[in-house]
A = this chain, B = another copy of it.
């Protein structure tokens, strides 16, 4: 039940297989998840999105686990079921414990609450917060 064909490795074009291979190698796994198999309907988009994920989620000024948890926070806020499952799995693989996940959810819940209090009460931004 997807809106496009799920393209398995065996039936993928060489252009797609190159990306699939790089995903598996980079992540140290031997399977491809459905997100990429769906994007493979447009091989250029598959390559572009994967290149982005690879670049943005690599170690940098922020820790990879922190990045993965931020991904979960955004996905839960947007109500994206697929992304919440896939990035929670990703965060756990990088070391997120149950206690960390529950605390992450507490922050996400609170932020969503106070975002609406602020958007509803419409107080001006304090000068002290403006750089």
Integer count of this chain's copies in the complex: 6
Indicate with 1 or 0, residue by residue over A94-119, a CB within 8 angstroms of chain B CB atoms.
00011111111111111111111111
Whether the pair A72, B1 counts as a contact (CB closer than 8 A) is: no
Q: Which of B52, B55, B115 contacts A112 (CB 8 A)?
A: B115
A13 on the B face (CB < 8 A): no
- Which residues from B are CB-within-8-Å of A130? 1, 85
Closest-by-CB residue of B relative to A125 is B85
What is the total number of residues of chain A having a CB less than 8 Å from a CB of chain B?
A: 83
A67 on the B face (CB < 8 A): yes
- Which residues from B are CB-within-8-Å of A33? 126, 128-129
Assembled-state Cα–Cα distance A80/B120 (Å): 9
The verdict on A103 contacting B42 (CB below 8 Å), with A84-B119, A85-B129, A113-B112 known, is yes
What are 25 A-B contacts defined by CB distance under 8 Å? A1-B124, A3-B101, A3-B131, A4-B98, A6-B123, A35-B114, A35-B123, A37-B123, A45-B106, A53-B114, A61-B100, A71-B107, A71-B111, A74-B112, A77-B116, A78-B111, A78-B119, A79-B80, A81-B119, A81-B125, A83-B118, A84-B119, A108-B116, A109-B117, A112-B116
